[in-house]
Amino acid sequence: MSEYHRDLKPFQDSMHEECGVFGIYSSEKRDLTRSVYYGLYALQHRGQEACGIAISSDNKILYHKNCGLVSEVFTEEIMDKMPEADIAIGHVRYSTTGEDRFNNAQPLVFNGKLGKFAIAHNGNITNAKKLRDQLLHENILFQTSLDSEVVGTLINKYSEDRYIDGILHAAQMLDGSFSMLIMTRTKLIAIRDRHGIRPMVLGQIGLDDYVIASETSALDAVGANYVRDIEAGEMLVISSKGLQSTKWANEKKEFCIFEYVYFARPDSVLEGTSVYQARKESGRQLAKHFPVEADIVSGVPDSANVAARGFAEQSGIPFVEAFAKNGYVGRTFIKPKQGMRESAVKIKLNAIKSNVQGKRVVLVDDSIVRGTTSKQIVQMLRDAGAKEVHLRIASPAVKHPCFLGVDMQTYSQLIGAYRSVDEIRDIIGADSLAYLTIDMLKDACRNKQNSCDFCAGCFTGEYPVKIDMKELDKMVFDD
Ligand code: SF4
């Protein structure tokens, strides 16, 4: 796994989105590599393991990808070598497997029967192994362990005169989640799974240039205006003929609620709801329903700070920073050996003694996954002289794994899976612990224009897609 995370929960103590995608269609040839670079830069929090950009220029598809952060992989020298283009797509990847990292970097470029095409995929195809086995029996070989390669192979197999027919055929065969960009030599195609689980938005620059991204913050980064979210079960084709939308499935949208809790940037707006406002409202709800007498409210940096401010606003208890964060701990930070992990958290985060000494502290966090970091953070506050530490979590207990594009696939990784709130409180060592309920969280994330429902599978165990555990077991491909 990556050694760098955007917040202070190292060593898989938080959930991680596996990817971010960004694509651009321009009416005139221009330096799209730099546009995608800025877009991917804005999506770096969604994946730090590898990244890549593919462009369509003069009917050729060219690409560059590698392991590393966007700023490491795309140097000035590399970008100067990429020619001007009409279409480009990019990808940032968070890897869970680690092996063969380079081959698993995206976009994946295929030499298909109608010419080259490239894929950038965010999500997880839950029946990928079954589909892959069928293709292997047809003597089709695979070079990566990516479900996205299975998708590309299906697209090629079912395309006759046009790739879009193959894409529509393949989409009907796929279970799980996908927000995917496909670039042919002349088209940019965006497609979202039948429930719209992972995010995807459409933006526009001027009259004729279009941008597709995982989050609106990436549209802002390239000066694109937000147009709308891509719908669940929609395929949008962007070409010289303009936009052409096809609804290939008609099921209700069930958008990943964890995007609001943790994954997305607070300046993004997803499905019509501002992530910042959703987090602030979650904090307010926590204060309303789980009040506590205290002197200060603080958030675990950075992702819980907004919810902590909401808690402070609602309760009238002042928001005070309890921690200083070391902003220079990057991906080159060397993972300490077992037993030294406590000091690793301390290097990344330190309590501000003068703010917490002798105080009763409400500490707000966005979620608890494994609980090991929460325990260390609570202890850090006590060591700094806090009189009481009351933990308030701006989401329900994570009780179930995610099979839909997030790297948490076993129950044993979750402190909330088999324990009561009191047991968790005792393990973490807080004076009190309370979680937001799922209804409160849903209310905080809904807005009047937004009729979509949410996937909340990791909290409730009810997923929008049928999870075949036997099938999932087989998803660890044999080498
Ligand atoms: S189970 Fe659903 S809500 Fe939870 S992280 Fe996965 S997609 Fe998101």
pLDDT in tens, 2-17: 222 333 343 345 555 5
Residues 270 and 201: beta-carbon distance below 8 Å:
yes
Report if pTM > 0.75.
yes
How many angstroms does the Cα of residue 370 sit away from the middle of ligand 1? 16
Backbone angles phi, psi at 365, to 5 degrees: -125, 160
36 lines ligand 1 (CB under 6 A): no
Residue nearest to atom 4 of ligand 1 (CA): 458
Tell me: pLDDT of 274 over 80.
Answer: yes
Rounded to the nearest whole angstrom, what is the distance from the C-alpha of residue 177 to the centroid of ligand 1? 10
State the distance from the centre of ligand 1 to the C-alpha of 329, rounded, in angstroms: 28
Mutate to test the pocket of ligand 1, among 254, 258, 260 (most ligand atoms within 8 A of CB): 258
What is the per-residue DSSP string for 161-186? S-HHHHHHHHHHH--EEEEEEEE-SS
Q: Region 43-61: what's the mean pLDDT? A: 94
* Distance from the alpha carbon of residue 397 to the mean position of ligand 1, in angstroms: 13
Each residue of 97-142: pLDDT tens digit?
Answer: 445 567 789 999 999 999 999 999 999 999 999 999 999 999 999 9
pLDDT at 471 over 70: no
pLDDT tens-digit readout, 403-457: 898 877 688 889 999 999 999 999 999 999 999 999 999 999 997 666 679 999 9
Identify which has the larger pLDDT, 104 or 328.
Answer: 104
Domains and CATH numbers, the chain: 19-256 (3.60.20.10), 269-450 (3.40.50.2020)
How far is the centre of ligand 1, averaged over its atoms, from the C-alpha of 256 (Å)?
5
Whole-number Å distance between alpha carbons of 34 and 27:
16
pLDDT of 340 over the 70 cut: no
Top mutation candidate among 94, 257, 436 for ligand 1, by most atoms within 8 Å of CB = 257
Confidence label for 470 from pLDDT (cuts 50, 70 and 90): low
Percentage of the chain beyond pLDDT 90 is: 79
Please tell me if the CB atom of residue 458 comes closer than 6 angstroms to any atom of ligand 1. yes
291: pLDDT strictly greater than 90: yes
404 CB near ligand 1 (under 6 Å): yes
Per-residue model confidence as pLDDT tens digits over 225-249: 999 999 999 999 999 999 999 999 9
Q: Rounded to a whole number, what is the distance in angstroms from the first to the last CA of the chain? A: 18
- CA–centroid distance, 367 to ligand 1, in Å, is 13
Could you identify the atom of ligand 1 that is nearest to the CA of residue 400?
Answer: 1
**Left if phi > 0, otherwise alpha if psi is -120 to 50, otherwise beta: which for 236?**
beta
Both tokens of 123, joined, read: 């999500």
Q: Could you tell me which of 258, 356, 267, 364 has the C-alpha nearest to residue 311?
A: 364
Query: Hey, what amino acid is at 173?
Result: M
To test the ligand 1 pocket, which listed residue (179, 214, 253, 404) has its Cβ within 8 A of the most ligand atoms? Answer: 404
Which atom in ligand 1 lies closest to the alpha carbon of residue 464?
2
Q: What is the pLDDT of residue 144?
A: 85
Q: What is the pLDDT of residue 303?
A: 87
Confidence tier at 339 by pLDDT (50, 70, 90): low
- SS3 label, residue 280: helix
Confidence label for 309 from pLDDT (cuts 50, 70 and 90)? very high
C-alpha to C-alpha distances, 23 to 73, 88, 162, 376, 470, nearest whole angstrom: 18, 6, 20, 40, 35
pLDDT at 473: 45
Number of H helices, E strands in the chain: 17, 23
Active site residues: 19
Looking at the chain, how many residues does it have? 479
Calculate the average pLDDT of the chain. 90
For 478, other C-beta atoms within 10 Å of its C-beta total 6
- Residue 197: CB within 6 Å of ligand 1? yes
